[in-house]
Amino acid sequence: MNTSVDLGGLRLKNPIMSASGTFGYGLEFAPYGDLQKLGAIVVKGLSLQPRSGNPPPRITETPCGMLNAIGLQNVGVEKFLREKLPFLPADKTPVIANLYAQGAGEFAELAAILGDEPKVSALEINISCPNVRCGGVQFGQDPEAAAFVTRQVRRACPDKPLIIKLSPNVTDIRVIARSVQEAGADIISLINTLGGMAVDIHSRKPRLANTVGGLSGPAVKPVALKMVYEVCGVVDIPVIGLGGICSARDALEFIMVGAHAVQIGTANFMRPDLIFDLVDELPVLLAELGVESLEKFRGSLETA
Amino acid sequence: MNTSVDLGGLRLKNPIMSASGTFGYGLEFAPYGDLQKLGAIVVKGLSLQPRSGNPPPRITETPCGMLNAIGLQNVGVEKFLREKLPFLPADKTPVIANLYAQGAGEFAELAAILGDEPKVSALEINISCPNVRCGGVQFGQDPEAAAFVTRQVRRACPDKPLIIKLSPNVTDIRVIARSVQEAGADIISLINTLGGMAVDIHSRKPRLANTVGGLSGPAVKPVALKMVYEVCGVVDIPVIGLGGICSARDALEFIMVGAHAVQIGTANFMRPDLIFDLVDELPVLLAELGVESLEKFRGSLETA
Amino acid sequence: MHNTCQTKSRFCDRVRLLGLDFAGHPDFVHLYLEPPSWDYTPGQFVMLRPEIWVQDPIWPRPFSICEKTPEYMRIFVQVVGRGTSLLSSAVPDSEINMWGPLGRGFRLSLDKRYLILAGGMGIAPFVGLCKEHPYPGKLSLIFGHRMDRSCYPFDELPGEMQRQSMRQTNQEDMEHFGRVLQEQIARFAFKGEILACGPMPFLQVVHKHVLETGAPAQLSVETRMACGVGACLGCVVETRSQGLVQSCVQGPVFDAGELVL
Amino acid sequence: MHNTCQTKSRFCDRVRLLGLDFAGHPDFVHLYLEPPSWDYTPGQFVMLRPEIWVQDPIWPRPFSICEKTPEYMRIFVQVVGRGTSLLSSAVPDSEINMWGPLGRGFRLSLDKRYLILAGGMGIAPFVGLCKEHPYPGKLSLIFGHRMDRSCYPFDELPGEMQRQSMRQTNQEDMEHFGRVLQEQIARFAFKGEILACGPMPFLQVVHKHVLETGAPAQLSVETRMACGVGACLGCVVETRSQGLVQSCVQGPVFDAGELVL
Ligand SMILES: Cc1cc2nc3c(=O)[nH]c(=O)nc-3n(C[C@H](O)[C@H](O)[C@H](O)COP(=O)(O)OP(=O)(O)OC[C@H]3O[C@@H](n4cnc5c(N)ncnc54)[C@H](O)[C@@H]3O)c2cc1C
Ligand SMILES: Cc1cc2nc3c(=O)[nH]c(=O)nc-3n(C[C@H](O)[C@H](O)[C@H](O)COP(=O)(O)OP(=O)(O)OC[C@H]3O[C@@H](n4cnc5c(N)ncnc54)[C@H](O)[C@@H]3O)c2cc1C
Ligand SMILES: Cc1cc2nc3c(=O)[nH]c(=O)nc-3n(C[C@H](O)[C@H](O)[C@H](O)COP(=O)(O)O)c2cc1C
Ligand SMILES: Cc1cc2nc3c(=O)[nH]c(=O)nc-3n(C[C@H](O)[C@H](O)[C@H](O)COP(=O)(O)O)c2cc1C
Ligand code: FES
Ligand code: FES
């Protein structure tokens, strides 16, 4: 079964990618499976300077999901290029850098640095992280700001496929999606986490030091699926779907509503070899469904 | 333990209310508990004319939650007043009518009819149902439209407490909340369901005939809690919190972030006597926490 | 009974699972539960939700009352998904929330003859009906099934009944079974009343032929249910006289003439 | 081993639960699991997630490796919430996903003397350490506990060890225990090294006194963990030289001097 996909210049041998922030720099999972099997590896969000992130507690479990407020702790782009990237099988599996910055200028600077790096196959711009007070979520919640960032990054890095990752915390996701498409995005990925909160009635404190955080995992899958479906209906560029995917069946649900590829996030925590198993299970399930190719299955949802 | 609450003119003996659409017209639960125990009974959304709702399937289970697209099937306001209301213990427990209409004029007409009915203690305006194509969600997603509806209803029914129920499917819930407060709402309730979708890869069909629906249940609790917390921070009127509440602990979480009362929705399906048990468990849990009164506990979250 | 909430409600009990009995196949299991205090009409159902489910799956699951004795309440379950799979691996002595008897069962009169048409798990509501009937000779049963007959509680039905079972394993078998149903419905027609329960495609065939012949019939339908008590409006079926109605309250047994399938 | 994923990974196994052993109290249970192929250092931990959890709870749970023999891997669990409660009611023969050995354990040298300070469940990582140590005479243990001593694997520790246990049931007991810890740390100080594991308030007391005396010490800390493999960045603790670091990778055992508690 051919499960390869072409995301507007970014070719993947299969549609299973890791989601940023849930797969470390990829190397953390090398003991549990063959990284070369994956469609692509999306690494933890990178910023110009190293960031230490928010104080702990940063994560808490919720019904069928979790909240996180990591605050984009990362080693910084320099150290990533020096100490992480060389050890990833970039010639066998595309490595995608996820970018975080506090302003459009900083995004452009980051994009220029990573754009020069042959071992980075594409850039994913996180305009939707709700965990950083300045910057972050604002870009993803306003169509003008989202377009502005997209244009700046496009200009700074004209040669690599550009993925814009959208926030679900908006009134109409289609407006933002169209806006970034017009501004030059090659690919759209969604969803990032939903804003959420958890508290402890005994200590009377929030369960996250940051008070609020981002919700992910199976709990959000219905929200993600609807948004991916809606966005696929209004843009012409490929869409990467994510949000709560835990199984090959979940992955095919997103592809059936129109996604070209999917990312596995929170499910990586359920079992570190889960993502590798999904790569094997996907073609088996497709065959069971009597589908000849992934291509044929994509967008095949029949609505009344 | 005194658990009574005063919601700006609407006095409840305890803060546990049923959520509209999950408790029928109240009578359905009479075999499972004493309706008089409840803080208030909020009935299924009523429209001027009877509505037959959407075609089935209308409901589907999701991880720790469910999607519904009932489409506001209801007996219509006349039949409600004639055949349901007389049998509810309205003199012992406030009965709150939940209103659905397709335009502000219709809302006002409904409000006028129900405003004249002494056995109805308050009106809850559903400006946030995502399951009806025309009207519904638009009001709840735009601050101007939400204020407009609020003013119309306020004018049509000046004498009863007016609850405006907000949609979570917005970029910034605080803007809508402030807007309806200024327009004359006495109380705000939130959240209604989150937009969501589920599909079946075998049949290639959506799991709901309506394709999309509203997500509810424990899965959405973190989203609801954050929005209730945010709204409590920007309005002066009482807030009713709901979204995924299944236990006395959950209820106290909403009260701790600032809610005056809570509604029990999807959890009524888990067990038809659950809501009655919560009324008993709440004061026990408060005592365990060493809290003297509900009043003292409300809004007692300590943030850094 | 281990723990009953009779003081606060008529119908919701937390009952103990007395035991499980697999019918020679891991996907077919009889659950034996502490018997509730109430009585029931065959065709009525209960909602079951084990305490241990906590918040996932969120819904209870509806099951026909298969049989009730002073010792136990019996539910016959086929594993088809997550909920039934969890039920089939429930631990004896664990606690299950159960409410019922729900909905409307079959209207029966002892002096009438009945032709019972059961497809697969549709046999469940007829077990108690047939075993408790004082004149089982008045009952005939045609039972269609996919899996081996030993998976189903067929052989335990009273010997005085006229019983016929037919297995369908492919499309051809199904069509043949359809013709048998047609013939038998036509032959029985006005000699008494037809009672049917089974999966939707089976019910649709039965429905078609009873409407054609005009034979009086009661059909039990299965729909997705969240509450079982008439509150969620999820379980609606289309009826001729009343439009969309909750099958958990007005059904699951309907007069064939009322149903639009 | 029932089912191992060694071909695709070094460390993630689906192991069978061989049995459970309650230590005379329903909240304290020893899980016996099929032994993995790898070896470990005391202080290292595993992540456990039963297959049956499906999607809720979503996270695995971290547990110290209590003991490993050719027959079994043993985990000592106290029920404190949903996950541990589900684990304590797991069914023998059920399958549990297990990955490990994770993190850094205690650095040990056989010729050194050790003062082990364990608070409550903090005894878990020391069971294997003490039982496998060739010269248990070199080990002293001070064990503070809230529940009856019989709940914990204290009595099975080698008799050659110098062992002392103290129960704390109220604030006064706690303060007294704090003073004992202070004295013992001061007395032992540079005779060898201190190893400590226990709940945060206990560790904070130990930390304070070892820093005061300058005694060399290794502390095992517990943090909320989602992945156990260094990916989620949820488990960070503050260190002097490196700021916030993942305790699942750089810990859970740290040099006392490195930690900011
Ligand atoms: C009134 C009534 C009586 C029933 N009596 C019995 C009985 O005696 N024995 C028995 O084994 N089953 C009976 N059922 C069916 C039983 O309720 C479903 O098989 C069960 O709810 C499936 O749960 P699950 O979690 O295993 O499946 P899921 O994972 O929820 O779904 C698996 C498949 O079953 C379908 N399904 C789910 N729920 C229902 C439902 N309520 N009705 C029809 N299809 C459904 C789904 O669409 C899906 O295709 C009855 C249903 C009703 C409405
Ligand atoms: C490296 C390491 C080794 C451990 N070794 C053992 C062991 O050998 N035996 C044992 O019984 N327990 C051990 N624990 C603690 C154990 O992981 C937690 O008790 C367990 O995860 C709680 O899960 P739960 O679902 O029952 O509780 P939850 O319902 O998740 O939480 C209940 C309470 O426990 C707290 N809690 C939850 N997870 C953790 C955690 N990871 N660390 C600290 N507190 C937590 C919560 O904040 C809450 O107050 C260890 C933890 C770590 C990090
Ligand atoms: C612990 C954690 C850290 C995350 N960090 C990032 C990040 O650095 N950049 C980013 O774009 N998304 C980040 N995300 C969001 C995920 O990539 C993903 O969009 C989201 O979790 C929804 O998918 P899921 O439900 O499959 O996890 C993070 C999510 C989690 C749970
Ligand atoms: C089946 C169903 C029907 C509903 N019908 C209505 C309705 O008629 N009017 C309304 O305002 N909200 C309606 N709701 C929304 C609930 O009142 C509530 O806002 C939402 O479900 C979130 O709460 P929960 O998670 O506790 O269920 C409905 C919800 C469900 C599940
Ligand atoms: S199952 Fe809820 S109304 Fe019938
Ligand atoms: S537990 Fe995930 S990084 Fe340590």
Give CATH superfamily name and number for A5-297. Aldolase class I (3.20.20.70)
Residues of chain C with pLDDT under 70: 1-10
Q: How near does any CA of chain C get to the CA of B190, in Å? A: 19
Kindly identify the ligand whose nearest atom is closest to the C-alpha of A59.
Answer: 3
Cα distances (Å, whole numbers) of residue C90 to C48, C76, C165, D124? 12, 14, 31, 31
Which residue, by CA, sits nearest to atom 15 of ligand 4?
Answer: B192
pLDDT category at D1 given cuts 50, 70, 90 is very low
Ligand 1 center to C84 CA (angstroms):
8
Q: How far is D115 from chain C (nearest CA, A)?
A: 43
Judge: D9–A31 Cβ closer than 8 Å, yes or no: yes
CA distance A158 to chain D (A): 31
pLDDT at residue number A137: 54
Q: What percent of chain D has pLDDT over 90?
A: 92
Ligand 6 centroid distance, CA of A67 (Å): 14
A232 is catalytic: no
Q: Which of B210, B174, B159, B221 has the alpha carbon at shortest distance from B9?
A: B159
Q: Which residue of D has its CA nearest to B64?
A: D56
Per-residue confidence (pLDDT) for residue C4, from 0 to 100: 35
The pLDDT score that the predictor gives to residue C1 is 33
Predicted confidence at residue C7, as pLDDT, reads: 38
- Residue A115: phi and psi, rounded to 5, are -65, -25
From CA B185, how far away is CA B162, in angstroms rounded? 6
Q: Supply the pLDDT for residue B129.
A: 60
D197 membership: H or E segment, kind and range = strand D193-197
Mean pLDDT calculated for residue range D160-176: 95
Q: Ligand 6 centre from D235 Cα, in Å?
A: 5
More confident residue, B270 or D7: B270
Nearest-CA residue for ligand 2 atom 31 is D81
pLDDT at D10 over 80: no
Nearest CA to CA, how far is A91 from chain B (Å)?
Answer: 34
**Mean pLDDT on A10-19:** 97
Number of the ligand 1 atom closest to the C-alpha atom of C225? 41
Residues of C in contact with B58 (CB under 8 A): 233-234, 236
SS3 assignment, position C188: helix
Choose the residue to mutate in D20, D48, D61, D74 for probing ligand 2, maximizing ligand atoms within 8 Å of C-beta: D61
**B63 chain-D contacts, CB cut-off 8 A:** 55-56
Kindly report whether the peptide bond that precedes residue C57 is cis, defined as omega within 30 degrees of 0: yes
What string of DSSP letters covers C63-95? EE--EE-SS-EEEEEE--SHHHHHHHTPPTT-E
Chain A interface mutation, best of B226, B250, B286, B300, highest count of A Cβ atoms under 10 Å: B226
Mutational test site, ligand 1, from C61, C67, C151, max ligand atoms within 8 Å of CB: C61
pLDDT value for D5: 36
What's the burial of B118, exposed, middle or buried (CB within 10 Å: 0-12/13-18/19+)? exposed
Q: Determine if ligand 4 sits within 6 Å of the CB of residue B244.
A: yes
Query: Measured between CB atoms, which of B63, B222, B301 is closest to A215?
Result: B222
Residue nearest to atom 37 of ligand 1 (CA): C224
Assign residue A9 a region (left: φ > 0; alpha: ψ between -120 and 50; beta: otherwise).
left
pLDDT band with cut points at 50, 70 and 90 for residue A179: very high
> Is residue D8's pLDDT more than 50?
no
CA of B19 to the centre of ligand 4 (A): 6
The answer for residues whose C-beta is within 8 angstroms of residue D137's C-beta and 6 or more apart is D160, D161
- Chain C residue numbers with beta carbons less than 8 Å from the beta carbon of A63 are 55-56
Question: Domains of chain C, with CATH numbers?
Answer: 3-102 (2.40.30.10)
**Pairwise CB contact (< 8 Å): C49 & B271:** yes
Distance D232 CA to ligand 6 centre (A): 5
| ipTM higher than threshold 0.90 | yes
Q: Give D208's contacts (C-beta < 8 A, 6+ positions apart).
A: none
**Interface chains of chain B (3 or more CB pairs under 8 Å):** A, C, D
pLDDT band at residue A138 under the 50/70/90 scheme: confident
- Rounded to a whole number of angstroms, the CA Rg of chain C reads 18
Average pLDDT value over all residues in chain D? 93
| Residues in a beta bridge with A197 | A212
Is there a contact between D49 and A270 if contact means CB atoms under 8 Å apart? Answer: yes
How far is residue C86's CA from residue C51's CA, in Å, rounded to a whole number? 12
CB B76, CB B57: distance < 8 Å: no
Residues in chain C closer than 8 A to D89 (CB atoms):
52, 91
- pLDDT at residue A133 is higher than 50: no
In this prediction, residue B102 carries a pLDDT of 84
Residues of chain B falling short of pLDDT 70: 129-137
* Chain B partners within 8 Å of D55 (Cβ): 63-64
Give the start-to-end residue ranges of the domains of chain B: 5-297
Catalytic residue among B64, B129, B134, B246: B129
CB B187 within 8 A of CB B239: yes
Nearest to C156 by CA among C26, C21, C15: C21
Residue D244 pLDDT > 70 = yes
Mutate to test the interface with B, among C48, C58, C245 (most CBs of B within 10 A): C58
Q: What is the pLDDT of residue B131?
A: 53
Question: Cα–chain-centroid distance for residue C211?
Answer: 22
User: Terminal CA-to-CA distance of chain B, rounded, Å?
Assistant: 30
**pLDDT above 90: percentage of residues in chain A:** 91
Handedness of CA D75, D78, D84, D90 (dihedral sign): positive
Q: Among D194, D154, D201, which Cα is nearest to D177's?
A: D201
* Arithmetic mean of pLDDT over chain A: 94
| CB proximity list for A265: less than 8 A, separation 6 or greater | A18, A19, A21, A22, A216, A217, A242, A243, A244, A245
What is the layout of strands, in order, in the sheet containing D259-260?
Answer: D243-246, D236-239, D259-260
Question: Is the predicted pLDDT of residue A176 greater than 90, yes or no?
Answer: yes
For C57, name the nearest residue in chain A, comparing CA atoms only: A64
- Three-class SS string for chain A? CCCCEEECCEEECCCEEECCCCCCCCHHHHHHCCHHHCCEEECCCECCCCECCCCCCCEEEECCEEEECCCCCECCHHHHHHHHHHHCCCCCCCEEEEECCCCHHHHHHHHHHHHCCCCCCEEEEECCCCCCCCCCHHHHHCHHHHHHHHHHHHHHCCCCCEEEECCCCCCCHHHHHHHHHHCCCCEEEECCCEEEECEECCCCEECCCCCEEEEECHHHHHHHHHHHHHHHHHCCCCEEEECCCCCHHHHHHHHHCCCCEEEECCHHHHCCCHHHHHHHHHHHHHHHCCCCCHHHHCCCCCCC
Q: Measured between CB atoms, which of D54, D56, D89 is closest to C55?
A: D56
Interval A54-78: pLDDT, tens: 999 999 999 999 999 999 899 999 9
Subunits adjacent to chain C (3 or more Cβ pairs under 8 Å):
A, B, D
For D93-147, what is each residue's pLDDT tens digit?
999 999 999 999 999 999 999 999 999 999 999 999 999 999 999 999 999 999 9
